[in-house]
Amino acid sequence: MLRFVLRRLLQVIPTLLLLSLLVFAWLRALPGGPASAFLGDRATPEAIAALNRQLGLDQPIFIQYGQFLGRILSGDFGASTITGQPVLAEIGRALPATVELSLAALLIAVLLGIPLGYLAASRRGGPLDVSTIMGTLVGVAVPVFFLGYLLKAFFAVQLRWFPPSGRQAVGIDATDVTGLAVLDGLLTREWDASWDALLHLVLPAVTLATIPLAVIVRITRASVLDVMGSDFVRTANSKGLAPGTVRGRHVLRNALLPVSTTIGLQVGLLLAGAVLTEKVFVWGGIGTLLADAITLKDYPRLQALLLLGALVYVLVNLLVDLSYAIIDPRVRLT
Amino acid sequence: MTGSKGAPLLQVRDLRVAFRRRGEPETVAVDGVSFDVAAGQVVGLVGESGCGKSVTSMAIMRLLPQRGVHITGSVKLDGEELLTLSDARMRERRGRDLSMVFQDPLSSLNPVIPIGLQITEVLRRHRGMDKEKAREAAVELLDRVGIPDPRRRITAYPHQLSGGMRQRVMIAIALACAPRLLIADEPTTALDVTIQAQILELLKEMVAETGAALIMITHDLGVVAGLCETVNVLYAGRIVERAQRHRLFGTPRHPYTHGLLRSIPRLDAPAGEALEAIPGSVVDNVPWTHACAFAPRCHRSVERCLEVTPAGETTGGRLLRCHNPVPASAE
Ligand SMILES: Nc1ncnc2c1ncn2[C@@H]1O[C@H](COP(=O)(O)OP(=O)(O)OP(=O)(O)O)[C@@H](O)[C@H]1O
Ligand code: SF4
Ligand SMILES: [Mg+2]
């Protein structure tokens, strides 16, 4: 198992290098080159020339790539052209909000999606199954924006069950530990801060969870049906095992393999969905940084966010592979 | 060992299995099959692909899906009707009183669970053994089915074993609770030729040792030859001939049985005698309702064969379903 982990970790390196190369090439391909991109539209030719020299753009291309890598590895992503602040610091401040939102959405999608997909499959063709399928069809089709505003209008504005936006109510003084507000409240025993953060989190998390939830339900259902028809489940039944044993030990475990792959793929979509969700609920995380960077052409920030996104995606899929190895001995032992 | 006096261990009467799909005509896979298995007896069920062998065995085990499948007739084990048994009671009997070995041992074993657990779970379920005891029993079972170094192998996963080893594990699972009846559905078909004989030998030994009755399902008469006392020949869901093995092999009366025997190579065949395959295939079958299903492929068919369904008639311990059987002196 340890060797498997180490091998997979080593395999991540070329992927990351390739992604960094893509980002590097993308910057080169921008009109006016990276210098004008970094400095913004109103930069003077002198400033561009100075930065070109400073960035080493008069050097051969592979040396430039080497320097680019060197800067990234030393954590130098430049300064935002919007705020003038170091990009990395900005990201560091915004990251916990997005991590909290994404984790909450993922938790909802997984903890609800797997049991629901499982139940639908085991009551195939029944009312629960049919309504679940209908629900997932709606779930993947409804735009995140629309759903977000709808939930907000109804549950926040109309019913006033939840706050309409932001992460914290006025007057709450929370201590920062991990940056994940709900967790921090629990860790510091500031229960009201935790509860307040949770209330703020519900609507955005539900909004963001909808699509992955629908996808996970469908994949789980299909996968469970597939496994229930397999030979080894027939064998399990031929042994006269209790239905619970057949389901838990023989069906579910095998059915989770494709589900874990799906979860990995969903994380990519989750990041995209987070941009929209954060906008609707004024969440102030990475999504907000990204949206502003795109509209205001803040290339240093964009570059850093792209690399960060790639890193997260690669790491998540590494986790998926590891979960595979835990569930499936054929992966682990070969 | 026997149940009520004189009654066979397994009594299958007029078993009929039909698959019904919405918007499609129903497929009758098993069409009124009756046979007995006495305690400790080895009975063969032979026929070519698609004739209903697996469906028969799955119906006996009650392993067919409940939706879209219509089963009628009677299956009695030790006098207890299985077809109407509650699911819970059937689960108690399955694996304990009757069990099954399937064709493909790789797909029939759970890929993500060590083989040890796949054996102990059946012991714990039916024998109420604790973990430790079940483990010891599993080691012993693996040893008995000829798996070397069983104490170490118990933690192995199916993909780490060879095909033959996997089928040995399947046999260990099926025989773990010393069932009265074992059904083996083409247990050697998926294996290398060299391994096939070993697995057959093991099955033979194990049923002799445990006193279990065995229904051996195969399309290979060669498999039957060394194993079964009584042989049922199945064609298109009906038994067309049944006899003691020696009589069936010596004087096959049904044209289909005759054709099957002519199509296997024999060591004692006169030099130069050609092997003959039965012409045509199952797709040529006509429905049993008003004819003999085998008629389009039969070299002895007469006019009557396409007009009247042949009835199964028993004479002198041989069941025969044919209007124009091969004369007893033909061989
Ligand atoms: N689930 C099902 N739905 C519809 N028809 C089925 C189903 N299962 C089996 N059948 C039909 O029942 C018939 C008998 O199938 P069965 O599997 O018993 O054949 P078999 O004798 O075991 O053949 P083989 O040697 O290939 O295993 C076949 O014609 C098959 O098409
Ligand atoms: S009944 Fe007729 S067609 Fe059928 S096997 Fe006998 S001779 Fe052939
Ligand atoms: Mg079969």
Give domain status of residue A84, yes or no: no
Q: Give the list of residues 6+ apart from residue B132 with CB closer than 8 angstroms, or none.
A: none
**What single-letter amino acid sits at B134?**
A
Residues B122 and B146 in one domain: yes
B51 shares its domain with B142:
yes
Q: Is the CB of B125 under 6 A from ligand 2?
A: no
Nearest CA in chain B to A331: B112
- Residue B62 placed within a domain: yes
Domain co-membership, B141 together with B246:
no
Out of B16, B19, B24, give the residue to mutate to test ligand 1, the one with the largest number of ligand atoms within 8 Å of its CB.
Answer: B19
CA of B304 to the centre of ligand 2 (A): 9
Same domain, residue pair A291 and A175: yes
What pLDDT, in 10s, does the model give residues A238-297? 999 999 899 989 999 899 988 988 888 888 788 888 888 888 888 888 888 888 888 888
* Cβ atoms of residues B63 and A233 within 8 Å: no
Res. A31 pLDDT band, cuts 50 70 90: low
Judged by CB atoms closer than 8 Å, whether chains meet at B95 and A238 is answered as yes
Ligand 1 centroid to B20 CA: how many Å? 13
**d(C-alpha B122, C-alpha B119), whole Å:** 6
**Phi, psi for B47 (deg, rounded to 5):** 165, 165
Look at ligand 1, atom 2, and give the residue with the nearest C-alpha: B19
Is A120 found in the same domain as A28? Answer: no
B53 lines ligand 1 (CB under 6 A): yes
A52 and A159 belong to one structural domain: no
Residue B124 belongs to some domain of the structure? yes
The CATH number of the domain holding residue A106 is 1.10.3720.10
Q: Would residue A195 count as lying in a domain?
A: yes
Protein residue with least CA distance to atom 25, ligand 1: B49
Question: Do B172 and B36 share a domain, yes or no?
Answer: yes
Report percent pLDDT > 90 for chain A. 20
Domain count, chain A: 2
Q: Mean pLDDT across the stretch A47-71?
A: 78
pLDDT at A324: 82
Same domain assignment for residues A64 and A114: no
pLDDT tens over chain B, length 331 residues:
444 456 799 999 999 999 988 888 888 999 999 999 999 999 999 998 899 999 999 999 999 998 889 999 999 999 999 999 999 999 999 999 999 999 999 999 999 999 999 999 999 999 989 999 999 999 999 998 999 999 999 999 999 999 999 999 999 999 999 999 999 999 988 888 888 888 898 898 888 888 899 999 998 888 888 889 999 999 999 999 999 999 999 899 999 999 888 877 665 655 555 566 777 777 778 888 889 999 999 999 999 999 999 998 888 889 999 999 998 874 4
Question: Span A17-41, mean pLDDT?
Answer: 76
Residue A310 in tokens: 């790639």
Residue of B nearest to A240 (CA): B91
Domain-located, residue B233: no
Check residues B233 and A186 and name the one with the higher pLDDT: B233
Considering the domain architecture, whether residues A146 and A290 belong to the same structural domain is answered as: yes
Kindly list the distances between the CA atom of residue B289 and the CA atoms of A268, B66, B292, in Å, as whole numbers in the listed order. 60, 26, 8
Q: Are residues B222 and B246 in the same domain?
A: no
Q: Which of A235, A240, A327 sits opposite B91 (nearest CB)?
A: A240
Find the domain containing A60 and state its range.
2-73
Which residue puts its alpha carbon closest to atom 14 of ligand 1?
B52
pLDDT value at position B330?
A: 46
Of B105, B123, B112, the closest CA to residue B178 belongs to B123
Which of A240, A243, A245 has the CB atom closest to B92's CB atom? A240
- Best-predicted range by mean pLDDT among A7-21, A137-151, B240-254, B277-291? B240-254
Identify the residue among A235, A328, A334 best suited for mutation to test binding to B, counting B beta carbons within 10 A and taking the highest: A235
Check whether residue B116 and residue B253 sit in a common domain: no
Examine the domain organization and report whether B207 and B118 are in the same domain.
Answer: yes
| A302 lies in the same domain as A185 | yes
Asked if A254 has any chain B CB less than 8 Å from its own CB, the reply is yes
Element (H, E) at A279: helix A253-280
Tokens of B262: 């002519």
- What pLDDT is attached to residue B331? 43
* Residue B4 pLDDT: 47
Asked whether residue B204 falls in the same domain as residue B246, the answer is no
Q: Is B326 close to ligand 2, i.e. is its CB under 6 Å away?
A: no
Whether B285 and B190 map to the same domain: the answer is no
Residues across chain B:
331
B180 & B263 share domain: no
Residues A183, A53 share a domain: no
User: A288 in a domain, yes or no?
Assistant: yes
How far is the centre of ligand 3, averaged over its atoms, from the C-alpha of B189 (Å)? 10
CA nearest ligand 2 atom 3, residue: B295
Say if B5 falls within a structural domain.
no
CB pair distance less than 8 Å for B125 and A240: yes
Range of the domain at B138: 10-228
Q: Are B36 and B114 in a shared domain?
A: yes
Determine the distance separating the centroid of ligand 3 and the alpha carbon of B54, expressed in angstroms. 4
Which pLDDT score, from 0 to 100, does residue A260 have? 86
Domain of B134, CATH number, reads: 3.40.50.300
Residues A143 and A10 in one domain: no
Do A233 and A279 lie in one domain? The reply is: yes
- Split at pLDDT 50, 70, 90, the class of A32 is low
| A110 shares a domain with A197 | yes
Using a CB cutoff of 5 Å, list residues around ligand 3, an ion.
B 54
A150 and A298 in one domain?
yes
pLDDT of residue B5: 53
CA-nearest residue for atom 10, ligand 1, is B29
User: Domain total for chain B?
Assistant: 2
Q: Which of A38-52, A232-246, A295-309 has the lowest mean pLDDT?
A: A38-52
**How far away, in angstroms, is B322 Cα from ligand 2 center?**
5
Examine the fold and report which residue of B228, B258, B288 is the final residue of a domain before the chain moves on. B228
Residue A137 lies in a domain: yes
Provide the pLDDT for residue B283: 73
For residue B286, give Cα distances in angstroms to B111, B127, B233, B298, B306.
41, 48, 18, 12, 9
Residue B329: inside a domain, yes or no?
no
**Residue B116 falls inside a structural domain:** yes
Q: Do A333 and B157 lie within an 8 Å CB cutoff?
A: yes
